[in-house]
Structure formats: structure tokens, C-alpha cells
Chain A
């Protein structure tokens, strides 16, 4: 079957915008972006990132009456070759973070440094180079693949936009290689998405994410739509690919067990803020923030003998609206430790004072005035 002929309309967007940028600095930026980063160095540094979605009233004379504070000042680092898990309930802003890192949304404030370049301020050629290096795998393998395109076109389309990665004559072979890498039969190149199962479709999504040899892949709930027995296949594939291509993952999910399994470090988000961040052992075995403790204790463990032995914290109420978050600590409305101080003084994300001196697993960043270690995962 002949490849679908498509006009490469989007191949060179914003030509005029490119010319307005100072050529020397842009070339420098591109060079910096393409430079390699050694293992263990920070590849992405997020500083005070903010995204507010305006709430407007009126049709003709729109006026802003408020804002949904989806992401409200979060900072973290992603190191080369590691997996950073981000967990939190729906509405906590974790998917908005993914979009900001992908520059699919423009940040309201704050910076995202990729190899020293602030990607929130880049445009033109430099931005395009960043986008090639940061790719995404989406949650729903049913809606994130165009049903009218063949698998070959879906994966090959990336080369239309970034032609420098693969010359025209070579693309079909490249796509077949990619299919092979993710464990699909390369002969399936002319099939359509509906001919595949959910797990196979997610493999196609992963192949598309890999096509441009990126350094970072943002995974937004990549396995939550899949059946249990298929989830394990996809997770194992992602781990294998990480080793093979030295990828860094930002792994966003609400399933805390899967996040622990795949992550080196984990950040816990609540209402647009980072509540606690640390290594997987620090967060899961030695959590100090009450929200993390409540979240972990709510996860049912597949072991009936742990039913009685575990410390269960059942939170009351729902997550407050991000358009009108509580003052001070955002978790205080559902927290059993909340005192007056929590309403007036916002706790900062830092190593709590009482743990600074020691070097126990409790010594990690936690945004709580009354941070305290509590094991909620293991049966007593």
C-alpha cells in the first residue's frame, strides 16, 4: 500500500518568528539542547512553576473573575536516566504539569530549565529542538491514535515534522525498527489502530514517543486503561527501553503501587502544590506528610492477612476547588493535625527542621509544619 501523501504544512511553523530571534543566541540554545548530559546530572529543573487558567464572565465584555490554580508554584529536578513518579488525586494538577513540561501549555510564571535553557521562554528552532528531545506517551490508547491513519503513518508523522531525524527514503525502515523495539510485528505497519488490542496500541504510542530518540519521555497514566495482565507487559517494556536508550521518565499516575515499582524518586502533589518528594523508600516506607500517609493508607494491599494489621486513615470530605484553595496549607481542611498555624502560614517544601540534623530516611522534603514519620504501608 502506498504511503498516504500529505502536504507537510506543519513542517516549518513560525518561519517569521524564527527570524525575529537573535540568530547567534538561538544557535547557541540549539547547541546546548543537543549536547549530551551525563548520567545523574539534572536534565530538567523546574522552578516555581505556575499555571492559572482564567475564569471569565460575560460574552462580549469578558472580564476575569478568578483563576483555577491548577499548578501553583512547584519545583523539582529530574536527573538523567532516572524515573520521577508524580502521584496525586484527580484535579491535583499532575496532568497540567505534564503539559507544561511538553510546552503544550504556556506557564503563567516560573521556569523549566532543560540543560540550562528555560523552555518556557524559547520559541522557533530552539523550541522545536526541545520538543524533539521531550516526548510524551498518553493515557488512553484508544483516543490518542488517529483511527484513519495506519500505524506506519502515525509513527512516521513525527519524521515529517522533524525531517532531520530520518531521511525520507529511510523512514519506513525506521518505523519497522521501532515496531520491533516495542515488541510488535514489523509487518503490522499498514494496519489501523482498531486492529490492535489496548496493550498493543499502547506499544504503538510508546513507539511514537521513541521515534525521535528523545532524552525525556513524559508518561501521563500510561497503563491505567489496560488490563492487569497487560499492564505488567507494558511496564516491563518501558523499563527495558529506559535501560536501552538511557531515557529519563516523568511518570504520572494515580496507581501508587505501579509508581513505586517504576520510580527512583516520587513527588506527591495536592491541589497544585508538591506536598512531599523523595526516593521511593523515603516516600513509601517513611512518609512524613499527612497527605502522603492518608493516600498510602487508602491503597488496598493485595494481601488479606494485612487487612487488620495496617494503619488505615480514612480522609473525610473531598478535595477543595483549585479555584478557591484554602489559605495556608492546602491540605488543612482534611487534615487531622491542622492547627491555627496551618491556616495562616503556608508550609514550604523543605526538609523539616527536626529531621535536618539526622540522616534517616525521614530526612527528605516535606511541606508540613508538623511533619512526622508514620508507617502506613506495612502491617504491624
Chain B
């Protein structure tokens, strides 16, 4: 296994108390595999990714427990210098907002080349040649002329391509993409997702795709982990989850999105709001919003039950959820 997150806990110490952003997350990614982490804002999907990358703001953040095994090595036990060597070289991240993740006062060529100067000890001149190559590879037209331009001179889609080029530069074995296409128009989103998938196939990279878009997930993912209030509520191969969700939250999400290919009935709306992370309800965190909640849901935290060999659901009543369609 390329990456394995085991029982990860992350807390934020705020004035209002301790916000438990991640409460015992387990997931794994193999080489060449795409894992989609699906969740709403505040579900802990980005915080988990930041913990893996080692870019969590500490304080206020604090990793309160667990292991992150990358190629059988626990990242949390490494020294900062060793972490830094892995970051960028072996794992890279693509962020949602390319404009604010690129440095506005450096040309894109300088920023792309920096990877090679820092990690590979190349000269500035060679690094620039490499930068042009990379831009060609992510299909930015007229790469040679544009290598000296600044981020604001590129369109949103082109900027996201530069981010992808940067992430792919040192051919890492793991890429974490945090909402990579959320800020883009659909036609551009399709281009960018296709490019990402193509490069992933080429380099056999493991990909963690963090998103809230059920459509994007269905299009590219091999397996899904659905997160709610800092926990994984369901993991499954992508086909299974869309056919028959085994957790009421996943089911609610799928029913609440309108379809492009048919005129809908009234949308199913999950009632209420996601919980405040400083006051996560006892028992199952989803119980106040769940149509199936019973007494046991309010008292006992559901473990990840084994639905079948490749599926897990953190619902006491996963069987009923699966059957009631």
C-alpha cells in the first residue's frame, strides 16, 4: 500500500473549546489508484489531507493520535527535514484556488523551475528549460513564450494546469488534489480532470481527490470515502456506492442533488445543519439529521461495520439502509 492513514485524530484548540476536526480516520491509497474523499465543509476532508502533507497549522492544530504510513514509514515520526524531502518530491498537492496558491510576483517559469533547483540542485537555466517542458506537457499553448509571464496573465484553467505541472514536476508517487476544479467552469473542468487522469495513468501515481461534487467523483474515482463530522461514514468501490448507499448520509446526499438527465421531482433535503465540531453529538454524529435514528444511535458511536469485503459503513442500521431503496 502506498499510503495508509490509521486512526488519525486532529484537534484545533480554539477559544470556544477543542474542535475535533478529524476523529479516527482510516483510509488507504494504492499506486495508480484514485481515492475520492467526499464531504461537506467542516467534514475534515481537507484537514486530513493537510496532516498527510504535513502542512497543518500547528498551533492551533494538533495531531492527537494515529499514524500516517507512507511506503511503510510513519510520517508523523519523521524529523522536519526528512518530511520536507518527501513533500514535493514524493508527494505533492494541488489546491483549489490556483491564483492564491501561486506567487504573484514570480513568473510561472521561476516557480516551476524552483522545484528542480531546490530538490534536484539544477542550475536556473536548466530549470527554465524543464519548466517549458512541463508547460508543454500540461498543454499550455506557446509555452516557450509564456514561461516568463506572471500568474495573473493566465486564465483560471491555465493556472490550474500550472498547479498540476508543479505537482507532477518531480514525478511524485502520491498527489493530493483538494477541490482542484471547484473554481472552474464545466468545460474547463472537463479539460483539467482529463489531463489529471492522463498524467496519473502515465506516472502510475496514487491520487487522493478531495471534493464535494458527486458528479466528478463518479467520473474519475476508483473508490470513495465519505466523511461527516471528522469521521468516515462509508467507504466503497465507486460503483457500489452510487447503486446502493449503505449509510443514510450518503443516501441523503445522492438524493439531494438534481439530475442533468431527467426532470426531477422535489429534491430530498437532509434536514438540519452539520454539527459544530466543538460539540459533536454523542453516539452517531449524524443522528440529529438522520431519518432512521433510534436510541442506540444517540448513545453508541457506530464502528465501521463490514458490509462486504471492500465496503464499510458506520451505521448501526446499514443493512436496513441497503435494503430500503
Chain B 265-279 per-residue mask, 1 if CB under 8 angstroms from chain A, else 0: 011111101100000
* B188, CB-defined interface residue at 8 Å: yes
- Interface of chain A: mostly helix, strand, loop or mixed: helix
Chain A residues within an 8 Å CB radius of B263: 260-261, 280-281
Please pick, from B215, B268, B273, the residue contacting A301 in the complex, using a CB distance under 8 A.
B215
Mark A219-262 against chain B: 1 for CB-CB distance below 8 A, else 0. 00000000111111101100100000000000000101110111
| Contact stretch, chosen from A62-70, A108-116, A164-172, A311-319 | A311-319
21 contacts between A and B (CB under 8 A): A89-B187, A227-B274, A229-B269, A232-B257, A233-B271, A257-B258, A257-B259, A258-B258, A260-B263, A260-B264, A262-B258, A281-B263, A294-B187, A295-B186, A299-B260, A300-B219, A301-B259, A301-B260, A305-B243, A314-B194, A315-B191
Expressed in whole angstroms, the Cα–Cα distance for A284 and B264 within the complex equals 13
Tell me whether A191 is interfacial, beta carbon within 8 Å.
no
Complex Cα–Cα for A44 and B54 (A): 55
CB under 8 Å from chain A, chain B span 148-164: 155-158
Among residues of B, the one whose C-beta sits closest to the C-beta of A237 is B269
| A217 adjacent to chain B (CB < 8 Å) | no
Contacts of A316 in B (CB 8 A): 191
Does B58 lie at the interface of the complex (its beta carbon under 8 Å from any beta carbon of A)?
Answer: no
Contacts of A299 in B (CB 8 A): 186, 215, 260
Across the interface, do B214 and A378 meet the contact criterion of CB distance under 8 Å?
no
Q: Is the CB of A254 within 8 A of B186?
A: yes
Residues of B within 8 A of A200 (CB): 273
A260 contacts B258, CB within 8 Å?
Answer: yes
In the complex, the 4 A-B pairs of residues with the closest C-beta atoms, listed nearest first: A300-B215, A261-B258, A232-B256, A298-B190
Contact with B along A291-304 (1 / 0, CB 8 A): 00011111111111
How far does the alpha carbon of A257 sit from the alpha carbon of B258 in the complex, in Å?
6
B239 at the interface (CB under 8 A from A): yes
Binding site for A on B (CB under 8 A): 40-41, 141, 155-158, 185-191, 193-194, 212-219, 238-239, 242-243, 252-254, 256-261, 263-264, 266-271, 273-274
Q: Which of B188, B193, B242, B256 contacts A231 (CB 8 A)?
A: B256
For residue A292, give the distance in angstroms from its CB to the closest CB of chain B. 11
Find out whether the CB atom of B269 lies under 8 angstroms from the CB atom of A236. Answer: yes
Q: Which of B216, B238, B253 contacts A228 (CB 8 A)?
A: B253
Knowing A231-B256, A314-B194, say if A302 contacts B186 (CB, 8 Å).
no
CB of B208 to closest CB in A, whole Å: 18
How near does chain B come to A226, taking the closest CB pair, in angstroms? 9
Instruction: Let me know if A12 is at the binding interface, CB within 8 A.
Output: no
- A296 to chain B: closest residue by CB: B260
Give Cα distance in the complex from A230 to B41, angstroms.
11
With contacts A298-B187, A307-B218 taken as known, whether A227 is within 8 angstroms of B267 at the C-beta atoms is no
Q: Which residue of B has the minimal Cβ distance to A90?
A: B185
Would A228 and B212 count as touching, CB distance under 8 A? yes
Residue from B141, B218, B266 in contact with A303 in the complex, judged by beta carbons closer than 8 Å = B218
User: Which B residues touch A235, using CB under 8 A?
Assistant: 258, 267
Interface centre among A229, A256, A280 (most CB of B within 10 A): A229
| Alpha-carbon distance A205/B270, docked complex (angstroms) | 21
Is the beta-carbon distance between B270 and A298 smaller than 8 angstroms? Answer: no
Given A257-B260, A318-B188: A304 in contact with B239 (beta carbons within 8 A): yes
Q: How far is the CA of A284 from the CA of B190 in the complex (A)?
A: 18
Contacts of B156 in A (CB 8 A): 90
CA distance A316 to B252 in the complex (A): 36
A302 contacts across to B, CB distance below 8 A: 214-215, 217-218, 242, 254, 257, 259
8 Å CB contacts to B: which residues of A66-108? 89-90
Chain A: which residue is nearest B189 at the CB level? A298
Chain A residues with CB below 8 A from B267, complex form: 232, 235-236, 261
B260 touches A227 (CB 8 A): no
Q: Is A344 an interface residue (CB 8 A)?
A: no
**Which residue from chain B places its CB closest to the CB of A316 in the assembled complex?**
B191
Q: What CA separation (Å) do A302 and B40 show in the bound complex? A: 16
Provide the residues of chain B in CB contact with A190, threshold 8 Å: none
How far apart are A5's CB and chain B's nearest CB, in angstroms? 33
Contacts of B188 in A (CB 8 A): 89, 318
A141 interface contact, C-beta 8 A: no
* A257 pairs with B187, CB closer than 8 A: no
Which residues in A have their C-beta under 8 angstroms from that of B155? 318
Bound-state Cα–Cα, A302 to B214, Å: 5
Shortest CB distance B323–A (Å): 21
